C-alpha cells in the first residue's frame, strides 16, 4: 500500500484537547481584553515596571559591548582627526613663520634700498648700485664679492659705500663680478679727516681688535682726539671723494711708553652686514691730466755778419 494513502488522524479513543481555532479565538479575546483593560484601567503598568526593573541589568550588560565598540570607533576617529588637524596646523604655522621671516627680510631690504636711493641722490659722483653676493673664501681677509664687473664698467680702485658710509674699495674686477676689500681689512688704509678738529690722519684695518674694527695710527699721544669724533674721507688720495663718513673714534689709549696713542675706530658703514652698496668712480678719473711741458726756448746767441755763430 502506498505511504501517501495512510490515515494520519488520531484514533477516536485518544482524548483530544480544544481545537486550534478555539485556541486562537480565546487568545485573541484575551489579548483584546487586556489591551482594553490596560488602556482604561492601567492594570499592566505595575507589571511592566517590575519586569523592566528585573530586566534592566540584563539590558545594561547587553548594551555594553555595543557602546564600547562605538566609543572605540569614535576615539580612533577623533585621534586621527586630531593628528590630521595638528599636522595641518604645523604646516600652516611653518608657512606663516616663513612668510613672517620673508616680510622682515623684505622690509629690511626695502629700507636699505630706500637709503641707497637717497644716498645716490646726495652723492654728486657717478655711481651705480650693486648687491653683495657672498664673502670671500679667505678667512684671514675682509673681502666681499658684488654682482658688478667689467661688463658694468667697474674700475679697480672704485670706492664702495652704503647708506651709512664707506665700506671698502674695489681691488679686483672680473667680467661679471668684483672683489671689494673692506676698510676693516688689515691691508687696507684710507686717508681721513677729523670733522671736529680738521686734523688729518690715516685709518687702517685692525685685525687684532674685534671683528670689523679699524685703527687710527701715527697720532701723537697728546693729539686732540676724543671718543665720538667723526672721521670722514679727506679726498687727498684722489680715490675717495671728500666728506664721506668713514668711522667714529671708539676708544683712545694714551700710553706713556709710546709716542703714539692707540685709537680704535668703529666703521660707520655696515662692513659685516651690507647687502646693497653703491660703487663710485674713483676721483682720479675726473682729475685732468697734467699739461705737457712746453718746448724749451731756443737760446739766442751772437752772430757775425755772415750769420755764423760767434764763439
Query: 177 with 135: CB under 8 angstroms?
Result: no
CA distance 186 to 206: 5
% of the chain residues with pLDDT over 90 = 22
pLDDT score, position 144: 92
Answer yes or no: is 25 within a domain.
Answer: yes
Give the end of a domain, one of 74, 93, 112. Answer: 93
Q: Are residues 138 and 68 in the same domain?
A: no
What does the pLDDT look like over 134-167, one tens digit per residue? 888 887 888 999 999 999 889 998 999 888 889 9
Domains: count for the chain: 2
Q: What is the distance of C-alpha 239 from the center of its chain?
A: 36
Burial of residue 53, with CB atoms counted within 10 A of its CB: 0-12 exposed, 13-18 middle, 19 or more buried: exposed
pLDDT at 301 over 60: no
Residues 122, 125, 129, 132, CA torsion sign? negative
pLDDT in tens, 203-225: 998 866 556 789 998 888 888 99
Residues spanned by the domain of 74: 20-93
Q: What ranges make up the beta strands (E) of the chain?
A: 127-135, 143-146, 159-161, 166-173, 178-182, 189-194, 200-205, 214-217, 230-233, 245-253, 262-267, 276-280
pLDDT category, 171, cuts 50, 70, 90? Answer: very high
- Say what the pLDDT of residue 284 is: 65
Q: Assess if residue 116 is contained within a domain.
A: no
Tell whether the model's pLDDT for residue 95 goes beyond 70.
yes
**Residues 84 and 134 grouped into a single domain:** no
Res 303: pLDDT = 46
Lowest mean pLDDT among 93-97, 110-114, 183-187: 110-114
Q: How far is the C-alpha of 296 from the C-alpha of 157, rounded, in Å?
A: 37
- The reply to whether 163 and 276 lie within a common domain is yes
135 and 86 part of one domain: no
Q: Say if residue 136 is in the same domain as residue 262.
A: yes
- Report if residue 118 sits inside a domain: no
Report the distance separating Cα 177 and Cα 179, nearest Å.
7
Same domain flag for 220 and 164 = yes
Assign residue 259 the CATH number of its domain.
Answer: 2.40.10.340
pLDDT band at 241, cuts 50/70/90?
Answer: confident
To the nearest whole number, what is the mean pLDDT of the chain? 80
- Mean pLDDT lowest for which of 169-178, 272-281, 299-308? 299-308
Q: Is 107 among the domain residues? A: no
Locate 212 and state its grid cell: 670689523
- Assess whether 27 and 176 both reside in one domain: no
Which is more confident, 11 or 275?
Answer: 275
My answer on whether 83 and 133 are in the same domain is no
User: Do 57 and 206 sit in the same domain of this protein?
Assistant: no
| Residue 258 domain flag | yes
* Domain final position from 37, 68, 93: 93
Is there a domain that residue 32 lies in? Answer: yes
Q: What is the pLDDT confidence band of residue 309, given thresholds at 50, 70 and 90?
A: very low
What tens digit of pLDDT does each residue of 58-67 get? 888 888 888 8
Q: Is residue 297 in some structural domain? A: no
138 and 246 housed in the same domain: yes
pLDDT in tens, 98-131: 777 666 667 777 776 666 666 655 565 578 888 8
- Residue (of 168, 253, 266) closest to 211 by Cα position: 266
H or E element: which one contains 23?
helix 20-41
Is 104 within the bounds of a domain? no
Indicate if 143 and 87 belong to the same structural domain: no
| pLDDT reported for residue 192 | 94
Residue with cell 659722483: 125
Task: Let me know whether 62 and 176 are in one domain.
Answer: no
Would the pLDDT of 302 be above 70? no
SS3 189: strand
Q: Mean per-residue pLDDT for 32-57?
A: 80
Residue 306 in this model has a pLDDT that exceeds 50:
no
2-16, 38-52, 129-143, 224-238: least confident range: 2-16
Amino acid at each position: 500500500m502506498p505511504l501517501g494513502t495512510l490515515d494520519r488522524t488520531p484514533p477516536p479513543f485518544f482524548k483530544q484537547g480544544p481545537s486550534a481555532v478555539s485556541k486562537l479565538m480565546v487568545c485573541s479575546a484575551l489579548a483584546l481584553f487586556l489591551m482594553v483593560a490596560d488602556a482604561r484601567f492601567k492594570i499592566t503598568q505595575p507589571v511592566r515596571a517590575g519586569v523592566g526593573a528585573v530586566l534592566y541589568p540584563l539590558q545594561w550588560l547587553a548594551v555594553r559591548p555595543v557602546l564600547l565598540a562605538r566609543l572605540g570607533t569614535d576615539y580612533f576617529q577623533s585621534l586621527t582627526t586630531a593628528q590630521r588637524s595638528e599636522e595641518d596646523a604645523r604646516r600652516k604655522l611653518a608657512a606663516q613663520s616663513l612668510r613672517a621671516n620673508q616680510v622682515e627680510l623684505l622690509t629690511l631690504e626695502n629700507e636699505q634700498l630706500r637709503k641707497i636711493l637717497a644716498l645716490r641722490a646726495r652723492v654728486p659722483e657717478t655711481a651705480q648700485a650693486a648687491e653683495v653676493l657672498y664673502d670671500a673664501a679667505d678667512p684671514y681677509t675682509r673681502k666681499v664679492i658684488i654682482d658688478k664687473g667689467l661688463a658694468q664698467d667697474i674700475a679697480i680702485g672704485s670706492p664702495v659705500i652704503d647708506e651709512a658710509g664707506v665700506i671698502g674699495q674695489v681691488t679686483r674686477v672680473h667680467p661679471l663680478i668684483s672683489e671689494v676689500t673692506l676698510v676693516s681689512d688689515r691691508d687696507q688704509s684710507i686717508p681721513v679727516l677729523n670733522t671736529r678738529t680738521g686734523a688729518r690722519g690715516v685709518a687702517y684695518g685692525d685685525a687684532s681688535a674685534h671683528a670689523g674694527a679699524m685703527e687710527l695710527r701715527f697720532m701723537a699721544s697728546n693729539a686732540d682726539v676724543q671718543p665720538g669724533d667723526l672721521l670722514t674721507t679727506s679726498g687727498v688720495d684722489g680715490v675717495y671723494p671728500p666728506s664721506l663718513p668713514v668711522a667714529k673714534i671708539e676708544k683712545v689709549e694714551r700710553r706713556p711708553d709710546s709716542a703714539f696713542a692707540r685709537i680704535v675706530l668703529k666703521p660707520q658703514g655696515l662692513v659685516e652686514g651690507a647687502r646693497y652698496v653703491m660703487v663710485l668712480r674713483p676721483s682720479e678719473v675726473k682729475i685732468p691730466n697734467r699739461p705737457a711741458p712746453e718746448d724749451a726756448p731756443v737760446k739766442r746767441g751772437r752772430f757775425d755778419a755772415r750769420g755764423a755763430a760767434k764763439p
